[in-house]
Amino acid sequence: MIRTFNCVFRRDLMLALRRKSEALNTLVFFVIVTSLFPLGVGAEPNLLREIAPGILWVAALLAALLSLGRLFEPDFADGTLEQMALIGEPLPVIVLAKIAAHWVMTGLPLTLLAPVIALQFDLRADIIGLLFLTLLVGTPVLSLLGAIAAALTLGLRGGGVLSALLVLPLYIPLLIFGAGAAGAAGAGLGGEAHLLLLGAFLLISAAISPWATASALHIALD
């Protein structure tokens, strides 16, 4: 199982690095959206500080949505997904490896870039640190929950829109607690409770998503 996980994980990273433009799309989208907001709402420091966590989280969430289509669709189209379903290893292991690679290529770069972007919103260092932590814990959940929707809509016409409709209600609690952590810290309440809730979301989705996604993939391949 570990051999299978490593092989799929490395394969997906290799493929993403060979399709650099696709991998960069998510990052460029995140930078553009977060950079346009200060220009649009004006250079009022208090307002920017207040809305910054929400903007960064919404941009991360939309960037994750943008990348979901690439999670299974290319493998479904060229037949490698059906080959993976027949290798004699549990499909949830393969799914988990693909989700991990997806997060490394999308969620992790956004998380690492977020503190730099946050500087243009004039956020305090401790709030930037907390925002980084919420994204570090929250972005894997975006990939885990997104995988279920991507698998459920695999092969459907207009699957991208349907996928967004399916997954957005699940993303909303993440958005509330992720952005709320920085707001609570700014108000002197501390963001630990929000961070713990995000951690709980991560554990629950890590326990459920690989199996749910694998079941959805079996249906798509049938």
Partner 1 sequence: MLEALDLECVRGERRLFSGLSFTVSSGQLVHLSGENGSGKTSLMRILCGLHTPYNGSVRWKGRPIASLDEDYHRDLVYVGHLNGIKDELTPLENLAIATTLSGISADADRRFDALSAFGVAACADLPVRYLSQGQRRRVALSRLALADDRPLWILDEPFNALDSTAVAQLRQLLSAHVGGGGMVVLTTHLDLAVEGVETQGLNLDLHGSAA
Q: Which of 44, 83, 125, 207 binds partner 1 (CB under 8 A)?
A: 83
Count of beta carbons in the 10 Å neighbourhood of residue 160: 17
d(CA 181, CA 130): 7
* Cβ 73 to partner 1 shortest distance, Å: 13
* Cβ 85 to partner 1 shortest distance, Å: 7
Site for partner 1 in 9-38 (CB under 8 A): 11, 14-15, 18-19
Q: Does 157 participate in binding partner 1 (rule CB under 8 A)?
A: no
- What six digits make up the tokens of 14? 């290799």
d(CA 10, CA 116): 28
Residue 82 or 126 having the CB closest to partner 1: 82
Residue corresponding to tokens 């279920």: 148
Residue 26: which of 131, 141, 142, 122 has the closest Cα?
142
Site for partner 1 in 88-117 (CB under 8 A): 88-90
Q: Which of 13, 31, 62, 85 binds partner 1 (CB under 8 A)?
A: 85
> Which among 8-16, 35-43, 57-65, 169-177 is the span making contact with partner 1, rule CB under 8 A?
8-16
d(CA 130, CA 128): 5
- Binding string, residues 34-73; x marks residues near partner 1 by CB under 8 A: ----------------------------------------
Q: Does 126 participate in binding partner 1 (rule CB under 8 A)?
A: no
Q: Which of 24, 43, 86, 189 binds partner 1 (CB under 8 A)?
A: 86
Q: How many residues bind partner 1 (CB under 8 A)?
A: 24
d(CA 160, CA 84): 23
Q: Which of 28, 44, 82, 200 binds partner 1 (CB under 8 A)?
A: 82
- The region, left, alpha or beta by phi > 0 then psi within -120 to 50, assigned to residue 219 is alpha
Q: Which of 7, 13, 62, 206 binds partner 1 (CB under 8 A)?
A: 7
> Which among 57-65, 74-82, 111-119, 159-167 is the span making contact with partner 1, rule CB under 8 A?
74-82
Contact 98, 8 (CB under 8 A): yes
Q: What sign results for the dihedral spanned by CA atoms 101, 102, 105, 111?
A: negative
- The region, left, alpha or beta by phi > 0 then psi within -120 to 50, assigned to residue 155 is left
By CB under 8 A, name the binding residues for partner 1. Answer: 3-4, 7-8, 11, 14-15, 18-19, 77-80, 82-90, 221-222
